[in-house]
Amino acid sequence: MAVGETAGRLASAREGQQWLGSLLYRSEATRPPDEAALDALLLQARARNRALGVTGMLLFDGRQFLQLLEGPPDAVEAVWKSIRQDPRHHDIRILGQTVLPARLCAGWDMQFFAHAAGPFHDRLARGFGRAELGAEAAQAACLARDGAPERIAASLADLVARGHARAALVAHVLEPAARLLGDAWLRDEIGEFDLALALGMLQQAAHALYHAAVPLRRPAQAHHRVLLATAPGETHLTGLCFLARLFDEAGWETDVAFPVRNSELVAGLLAARPDAVDIALSDALPRAEALQSLRETVRCCREAWPDDSLVISVGGRLFAERRASAEDCGADHGRTSVLETPEVLARLVERHRLTCACGSLPRPLRH
Ligand SMILES: Cc1cc2nc3c(=O)[nH]c(=O)nc-3n(C[C@H](O)[C@H](O)[C@H](O)COP(=O)(O)O)c2cc1C
């Protein structure tokens, strides 16, 4: 993929002054579409989405659809008006509707994932606390599984009213909930589609948590810039979505990327030129097998960077459970939670700047 194309996959959190609308829904196919019918649907959807500036993601498990639409609010509304009248599906249920500071699916006029074994499976291969809060995390996981993000949001709003910090709630309720859902998948209690759907519910709850509390204003000038990327090929976006909220609140300029290969991530880095990059593995699944390729990813990023100034952070369940550390993959920081990540990375960025300005200083201590 060319640099220009990769740059197109990066979403600036600052699309002018406009906030983006997003809508997540699920539905059931009226009758199982064959591959030709799905291709026709996607062709039609992508052409219109591209024309309207709508991006998103469509999941299909052979029976149900799960779709995320994002873009200028009027455009999302226009597309949604057509979709909800479309006879090819029924039992349509809105799972979340919110405004976003940045696109989560930039560059995807409609990325398609099929999670069913069978004729569509190869597309998937190509595609893409604290004790007191423990009960809340378990409840959030159940509500996410049952498709009730508004109930998770209501319970989080209640905790905020009782004095809990939003970032702490993400760290001690939503992140453990993602791991609980991962456990359910590992025990074969839920399918891959249900896991993806439930993780989407947690993302919606995080958006609602911040949308309710943070005024829609932008800092006059961001001091730091971060690229939040999924590890190449990683399909779970939860950690990245949580982090986007925290970095935005902390006043960072935030870009996001969903690279499929290391070369795409490197091209994206060179295009965005951030102070720091966070590379996220799944928040739900351990992904122990991904450690070696993550090490290679970090090496590629270091090699491509002209000096020592780039701060590289890695995260995901693998690090949250301390089964791996930053040192294991050559990163500067291995986050065990999203909590305080913007603060830690800001400190590391300042140290690296100092190191680069005074070449004689030793490389900063690994955090
Ligand atoms: C599950 C599903 C998802 C769809 N997603 C989109 C989409 O993202 N964008 C889009 O323009 N049309 C999408 N469509 C097709 C629309 O429903 C509609 O047929 C198309 O936009 C043409 O609109 P019109 O009939 O109002 O001209 C989707 C249809 C289905 C069944």
Both structure tokens of 229: 């990327």
Ligand 1 atom closest to residue 110's alpha carbon, by position in its atom list: 8
Q: What is the pTM of this model?
A: 0.62
Q: What is the CATH number of the domain that holds 245?
A: 3.40.50.280
Asked if residue 293 belongs to a domain, the reply is: yes
Q: Ligand 1: which of 30, 48, 95 to mutate, judged by most atoms within 8 Å of the beta carbon?
A: 48
Q: What is the CATH number of the domain that holds 67?
A: 3.30.70.100
Question: Is any atom of ligand 1 closer than 6 Å to the C-beta of 26?
Answer: no
Boundary (domain end) residue, out of 126, 142, 172? 126
Q: Report pLDDT for 137.
A: 83
Residue nearest to atom 16 of ligand 1 (CA): 83
The radius of gyration of the chain from alpha carbons, rounded to an integer in Å, stands at: 20
What's the 10 CA to ligand 1 centre distance in angstroms?
25
Taking only the tens place, the pLDDT of each residue in 6-65 is 223 333 333 444 678 888 888 999 988 887 888 889 989 999 999 999 988 888 877 888
Taking only the tens place, the pLDDT of each residue in 9-19 is 333 333 444 67
Taking only the tens place, the pLDDT of each residue in 192-251 is 888 998 999 999 899 888 876 554 445 555 679 999 999 998 989 999 999 998 898 888
Residue nearest to atom 23 of ligand 1 (CA): 82
Is residue 176 within 8 Å of residue 137, measured between CB atoms? yes
What's the 163 CA to ligand 1 centre distance in angstroms?
43
Same-domain check for residues 63 and 158: no
Asked if residue 30 belongs to a domain, the reply is: yes
Asked if residue 219 belongs to a domain, the reply is: no
What's the 45 CA to ligand 1 centre distance in angstroms?
5
Nearest to 229 by CA among 195, 192, 196, 274: 274
Same-domain check for residues 200 and 181: yes
Ligand 1 atom closest to residue 58's alpha carbon, by position in its atom list: 3
Ligand 1 atom closest to residue 88's alpha carbon, by position in its atom list: 31
Boundary (domain end) residue, out of 126, 143, 170? 126
pLDDT of 163 > 80? The answer is: no
Question: Is any atom of ligand 1 closer than 6 Å to the C-beta of 89?
Answer: yes
Asked if residue 367 belongs to a domain, the reply is: no
Asked if residue 362 belongs to a domain, the reply is: no
Cα–Cα dist 277/252, whole Å: 12
Q: Report pLDDT for 111.
A: 75
Is 365 buried (19+), middle (13-18) or exposed (0-12) by CB count in 10 A? Answer: exposed
Q: What is the CATH number of the domain that holds 138?
A: 1.10.1240
Q: Which domain holds residue 146?
A: 131-213
Asked if residue 363 belongs to a domain, the reply is: no
Same-domain check for residues 87 and 36: yes
Q: Report pLDDT for 251.
A: 87
Both structure tokens of 297: 């990813």
Residue nearest to atom 13 of ligand 1 (CA): 45
Same-domain check for residues 251 and 200: no
Asked if residue 365 belongs to a domain, the reply is: no
Residue nearest to atom 11 of ligand 1 (CA): 45
Residue nearest to atom 9 of ligand 1 (CA): 45
Same-domain check for residues 241 and 349: yes
Boundary (domain end) residue, out of 213, 240, 257? 213
Same-domain check for residues 40 and 105: yes
Nearest to 13 by CA among 274, 232, 235: 274
Question: Is any atom of ligand 1 closer than 6 Å to the C-beta of 49?
Answer: yes
Same-domain check for residues 19 and 41: yes
Question: Is any atom of ligand 1 closer than 6 Å to the C-beta of 65?
Answer: yes
Question: Is any atom of ligand 1 closer than 6 Å to the C-beta of 23?
Answer: no
Asked if residue 100 belongs to a domain, the reply is: yes
Q: Ligand 1: which of 54, 80, 82, 95 to mutate, judged by most atoms within 8 Å of the beta carbon?
A: 82
Same-domain check for residues 10 and 84: yes
Same-domain check for residues 237 and 308: yes
Q: Report pLDDT for 62.
A: 78
Same-domain check for residues 115 and 26: yes
Same-domain check for residues 200 and 244: no
Q: Report pLDDT for 356.
A: 67
Number of domains in the chain: 3
Cα–Cα dist 17/27, whole Å: 33
Question: Is any atom of ligand 1 closer than 6 Å to the C-beta of 29?
Answer: no
Average pLDDT over residues 302-311: 90
Residue nearest to atom 29 of ligand 1 (CA): 83
Same-domain check for residues 143 and 107: no
